[in-house]
Amino acid sequence: MNSEQDGRSTRWDQHRAARRAELVVAARKAVHRQGPGVSMEEIAAAAGTSKSIVYRYFDDKAGVRLAVASAVVADMHDALTRAAQEAPTPLGGLRAMVRVYLEMIEHSPRVYWFVTRTSIAALEPSEPSGAGPIGTPEAPLSAYLDSVIDVVARPFAELAGVSDDVAAAWAAGAVGHVRGAGEWWLAHRESGTTSMSREELTELVTQWLWRGAVGVLHHDTRDTRGAHGTHDARDAYETAGIAAGPHSTY
């Protein structure tokens, strides 16, 4: 291939990548407006093109979903990373990351369910918009959780002075806890069976995580134990600089 042909090929690859990204944005907006049951025709209409053009860039609806999921994963990962980096303290970082996650799922629950739980094989265009979690999780969510575990683990490895694998094990549990609490809240918020606000849940989850695992880890590293070698939860909180009351100011 000569330089002229190589240049044309590069420009075509760039054009194709840009066009594909535009279609992903359009698909994401279509899901946000119409729900996980959005059809390929509706996605094409949102992109201002034909269904055949969409199929030129994606093999099927599952391919569209995976592309949308990858975009959502990247956005959330970037937002969580910024939250962790900009927070003045590890506790502030934890609170900021919980808040970011809940803000993103609250902003577009339809996209969240589409990315995390929708089974394309079982999804029909006639399915009611805004349907809750169905199907099973797939690769994008797993990739997201793995990347977020790393983001969450780093500041707490430094805080507690523990090994990377211990911090990662805690982070894996923390991420699962935030996700579970967030999905419970999202589903019950949509059904009108909870009056809990996003900020209330943010603070609750943050304190549950901080007072439990991080306090114990920090306590362990200072070898602060009771007379019989057992942990005292209140001592652990005080060692970590955390007051034991439910409305403490950190």
The domain locations on the chain are 69-239
Q: Does the structure show a pLDDT above 90 at 93?
A: no
Q: Does the structure show a pLDDT above 60 at 172?
A: yes
% of the chain beyond a pLDDT of 90: 30
Residue 28 has what pLDDT?
A: 95
**CATH class (in words) of the domain with range 69-239:** mainly alpha
% of the chain beyond a pLDDT of 70: 69
If pLDDT is split at 50, 70 and 90, which confidence band does 26 have? very high
Residue 128 has what pLDDT?
A: 37
If pLDDT is split at 50, 70 and 90, which confidence band does 221 have? low
Residue 145 has what pLDDT?
A: 65
**Measuring CA to CA, which residue among 174, 164, 40, 168 is closest to residue 94?**
174
Residue 84 has what pLDDT?
A: 81
Q: Lowest-pLDDT range, 132-136, 150-154, 165-169, 183-187?
A: 132-136
Residue 159 has what pLDDT?
A: 67
Separation in Å, CA 222 to CA 115, 214, 216: 42, 13, 10
